[in-house]
Amino acid sequence: MLLGAIVDAGLPLDALTGELAKLKVEGYSLRAEKTQRADLAATKLTVDLQPSALSFPHLSDLLGAVDASDLPPADKEKASAVFQRLAEAEAQVHGVDAASVVLHELGSLDTLIDVVGAVAGLRLLGVEQLFASPLPLGRGEVEGAHGVLPLPAPATLALLAAVNAPVSEADLSGELVTPTGAALVATLARFERPAMTLDKVGCGAGSRNPAGRPNVLRLWLGEELAASRNAVLLVETNIDDMSAELLGYVQERLFAAGAADVWFTPIFMKKNRPATMLSLLCAVEREEAVVRVLLEETSTLGVRVREVRRHEAQRETFEFESSLGPACVKVKRLPGKKAQVSPEYEACRQLALERDLPLAEVYRTVEAEARSRLDPKP
């Protein structure tokens, strides 16, 4: 379905076939046809296997085929990561190690084409980032090499659980997410919906055509909005019954959970009661982690979250061997301006202790020597 959506979104089938030829395997052909699913137009892509088609029953077989190909290194890395994740999920389900697990149906040439075709096809479409909505879970049973299994398939659930994927309930019998599809999304995508301009939508048709519901996978193509790249979350809560020691510990936990900055503001609450407003900035994807810390480690009953925009200067960390020893500075760069240098406290503190020098003197030495290296005079 993903290959069908890629072709439906504008990638010529010949281009996809030509890229897959770099795998240097034979015994298959690709066929794309326009069709409808519940009156929704879509492209159905079929991988036709010949009787002589090779199988790849072990992880090493799939990785070997990818490694022996002429695909770009980035495609090899992504496809191998998908297969590794797929094998690890199967191994977890069956209680064996990933190297020895037998992939059965997942070890067919069809799986190799699906995964490599998706990786290469997205690249050819110019996709730089992939996002996914919650995946629908079907119900019922499916028969495989190990007999009748419940749906969603055990390997599918293991793959989605490994990345804490959001899922949704679908009132539909049958397999809606296959292990291969779950491995692709879990490896290549983030479960977010970014702010974007929508340019094109491709629809890939599934094999079944249930009444009343289009069995399609939709691929949205567009450009991420510039504002969303600067977006961070401001998370705040008011606390009036915790000691400074406990709040200091909470700050440490929040930084460990991915907060970019944490600060405290003295405030007055009802009845003129002194209190503390705890504020933090974090990336959108870290919201759940930092909120969990706040709810578990503080007395608050709730937190406020809102999106804000942040403009950042170009910055980097510069490590070098100073006259006093190993040193480190933060470097801030602005267009047309000289670099601004700020020595790192911990590195300077260590040098001050080792050399028995005043910390301020170490700061001056490290800053001057960093500037001379970053902005050498002719």
The per-residue pLDDT for range 246-301, each reduced to its tens digit, is 999 999 999 999 999 999 999 999 888 899 999 999 998 899 999 999 999 999 99
CATH 3.10.20.300 domain span(s) along the chain: 314-374
In terms of Cβ atoms closer than 10 Å to its own Cβ (0-12, 13-18, 19+), residue 117 is buried
**DSSP helix/strand/coil, 156:** helix
Query: Diameter of the chain by CA atoms?
Result: 82
Spatial neighbors of 10 by CB under 8 A, at least 6 apart, are: 125, 200, 202, 221
On the question of a cis peptide bond just before residue 210, with omega within 30 degrees of 0, the verdict is no
CATH 3.30.70.1380 domain span(s) along the chain: 230-309
DSSP 134-153: PEEEEESEEEETTEEEESS-
Spatial neighbors of 354 by CB under 8 A, at least 6 apart, are: 325
Q: d(Cα 185, Cα 175) in Å, to the nearest integer?
A: 16
Class assignment of domain 314-374?
alpha beta
Radius of gyration of the chain (CA): 27
Sign (positive/negative) of CA torsion 221, 226, 227, 230? positive
In eight-state DSSP terms, residue 339 is: P
SS (H, E, C) 38-80: CCEEEEEEEEEECCCCCECCCHHHHHHHHHCCCCCHHHHHHHH
Residue 309 pLDDT? 84
In 3D space, the residue among 330, 369, 370, 332 whose CA is nearest the CA of residue 346 turns out to be 330
Residue 146 pLDDT? 65
Residues in the chain: 378
Which helix (H) or strand (E) segment holds residue 238: the answer is strand 231-239
In 3D space, the residue among 95, 200, 82 whose CA is nearest the CA of residue 154 turns out to be 95
Question: Which residues on adjacent β-strands are paired with residue 265?
Answer: 277
Residue 175 pLDDT? 87
Residue 271 pLDDT? 85
Give the orientation angle of helix 109-124 with respect to helix 59-67, to 10 degrees.
40
Which CATH fold topology does 230-309 show? Answer: Alpha-Beta Plaits (3.30.70)
Burial of 335-365, coded b for 16+ CB within 10 Å and e otherwise, reads: eeeebbbebbeebbebbbeeeeeeeeebbeb
Question: Which residues on adjacent β-strands are paired with residue 37?
Answer: 40
Mean pLDDT per block of 10 residues along the chain (378 residues) reads 97 97 95 94 96 90 95 96 94 87 86 96 96 88 74 91 88 86 95 88 94 92 72 94 94 95 95 93 93 96 92 88 94 87 94 96 95 75
Residue 374 pLDDT? 84
pTM: 0.62
In eight-state DSSP terms, residue 108 is: B
A 10 A CB-CB count for 293 gives 21
| 38 touches 214 (CB < 8 A) | yes
In 3D space, the residue among 184, 187, 180 whose CA is nearest the CA of residue 106 turns out to be 180
Which helix (H) or strand (E) segment holds residue 173: the answer is strand 167-173
Residue 141 pLDDT? 78
